[in-house]
Amino acid sequence: MKKYVPLLLLVLLASTPLYAHVIQYEVDQIGKGAVFWKYMLVGFEHIIPLGFDHILFITCVFFLSPNLKNVVLQASMFTLAHSITLGLSMYGIIKPPANIIEPLIAISIVFLAVENILSDRVKPWRLLMVFLFGMVHGMGFAGALSQLGMPRYAFATALISFNVGVEIGQLTIILLLYFFISRPFSKTPWYRKRIVIPISIIVALVASYWTIQRIFFV
């Protein structure tokens, strides 16, 4: 039965919506004091449970190194990068087309997954790569926020709190992977062969499917 688990996981992930991280809400007339908490929750939900593609990206970031500090550093670079492009997009300074950004998000996941398969350590240029991919993901976040809408009376607060929620979601994924997979198994001789590489292959396949879907069927 165990040998069918990766296949079942692949089918489940591949069957998720084409734009897996798109969220839709209606902006209520709420007080400024409630804006922060509302958009922080929206940001968190954008990762858990709605952000399948972003979860896979963070998973790829995690599995190349069992060192928690190294992973958090990469995740922080990702957050910094997506915060920049999210802000630029929401303020209308840049207007990235979704038909280009969405395939690029999927390609970024494929790239990291393949690197996890081919490499067993974090190379110096990994942080730069995560930062650049984070800028792409930030443009994807902007698409979701645009559908949600932003309160004009508390625009900056909503933007900052959304980013805080996203970061909490990312750290939640990292800590779950650390305590349930990395901490108990990373020091075993079979960790990379039986856990890192198989999961990375599944992620690469799912993200490749998303890439084809987003390029040719939208």
In 30-154, which residue ranges form alpha helices assigned H by DSSP? Answer: 32-47, 52-63, 68-90, 98-118, 126-148
Q: Are 169 and 43 in contact (CB under 8 A)?
A: yes
What mean pLDDT is predicted for residues 145-161? 82
For the chain, the average pLDDT equals: 84
Q: Are 88 and 136 in contact (CB under 8 A)?
A: no
Q: Whole-model pTM?
A: 0.84
Domain of residue 212, residue span: 30-216
* Whether the predicted pLDDT of 6 surpasses 70: no
Does any domain span residue 110? yes
- For residue 159, what are the contacts with CB-CB under 8 A and spacing of at least 6? 39, 86, 87, 90, 145, 150
Does any domain span residue 198? yes
What mean pLDDT is predicted for residues 185-198? 94
**19: confidence class by pLDDT, cuts 50, 70, 90:** very low
Side-chain-side CA neighbours of residue 49 (13 Å)? 3
Does any domain span residue 2? no
Does any domain span residue 207? yes
Total domains, the chain: 1
Does any domain span residue 6? no
Does any domain span residue 138? yes
What mean pLDDT is predicted for residues 112-134? 89
* Whether the predicted pLDDT of 115 surpasses 70: yes
- pLDDT score, position 29: 59
Rounded to 5°, angle at Cα 32 from 142 and 143: 10
Does any domain span residue 80? yes
Does any domain span residue 10? no
